[in-house]
């Protein structure tokens, strides 16, 4: 009886480590130029950058962050993205634009809204976009925009991943390294 319970427990534990379906992955590493633009003077937290880096690395993409200053003060997405591509020779580019706005106090939490717009393209193709309004649930009043960004890093990654995968499909046709199936680490 005890053994059965133990086995059941181990099974439950292992279920948290189920192998993930492999993401698209390049055979050879390639550079991904990334620019993160957050309006309203919010510092981008390291944890937010780290999660973006994780999801790129799992696809054999090496993140090269382009400082916002190199976007030449552009305010429109199309022009920011053009500036990003002009600032680097990386074959892949990803522009992350976000805002952080306080929503309300809900059941003991400070809820913020983080609208995020993702624009990505590989060299020689038109950019693809995704936009999402993510909720950030913070515990303390002193936590503001930067913490809100960190709070949404995980759900944001789930939006970035399919965008990157979409870019990688057909990369071989574009003369870039071909995607390959791999065991793939979790996102």
Query: Which residues here bind another protein, judged by CB under 8 A?
Result: 12-13, 15-17, 39-41, 75-78, 81, 97-99, 101, 103-109, 111, 113, 115-117, 119, 126-127, 129, 131, 133, 135, 137, 139-142, 154-155
Q: Kindly report the number of other CB atoms within 10 A of residue 98's CB atom.
A: 23
Task: State the nearest-atom distance from the C-beta of 178 to another protein, in Å.
Answer: 27
Separation CA 17–CA 141 (nearest Å) = 35
Task: State the nearest-atom distance from the C-beta of 72 to another protein, in Å.
Answer: 15
30 versus 121: smaller Cβ distance to another protein:
121
19 versus 175: smaller Cβ distance to another protein:
19
69 versus 126: smaller Cβ distance to another protein:
126
Task: State the nearest-atom distance from the C-beta of 28 to another protein, in Å.
Answer: 29
33 versus 134: smaller Cβ distance to another protein:
134
Task: State the nearest-atom distance from the C-beta of 111 to another protein, in Å.
Answer: 5
């Amino acid at each position: 009886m005890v053994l059965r319970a133990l086995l059941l427990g181990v099974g439950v534990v292992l279920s948290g480590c189920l192998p993930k379906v492999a993401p698209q992955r390049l055979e050879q590493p390639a550079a991904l130029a990334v620019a993160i633009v957050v309006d309203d003077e919010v510092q981008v937290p390291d944890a937010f950058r780290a999660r973006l880096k994780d999801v790129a690395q799992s696809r054999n993409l090496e993140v090269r962050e382009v400082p916002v200053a190199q976007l030449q003060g552009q305010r429109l997405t199309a022009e920011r993205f053009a500036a990003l591509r002009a600032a680097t020779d990386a074959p892949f580019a990803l522009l992350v634009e976000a805002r952080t706005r306080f929503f309300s106090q809900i059941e003991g939490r400070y809820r913020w809204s983080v609208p995020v717009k993702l624009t990505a393209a590989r060299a020689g193709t038109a950019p693809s976009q995704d936009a999402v309004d993510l909720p950030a649930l913070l515990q303390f009043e002193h936590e503001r925009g930067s913490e809100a960004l960190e709070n949404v890093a995980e759900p944001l990654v789930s939006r970035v991943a399919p965008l990157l995968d979409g870019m990688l499909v057909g990369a071989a046709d574009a003369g870039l390294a071909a995607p390959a199936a791999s065991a793939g680490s979790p996102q």
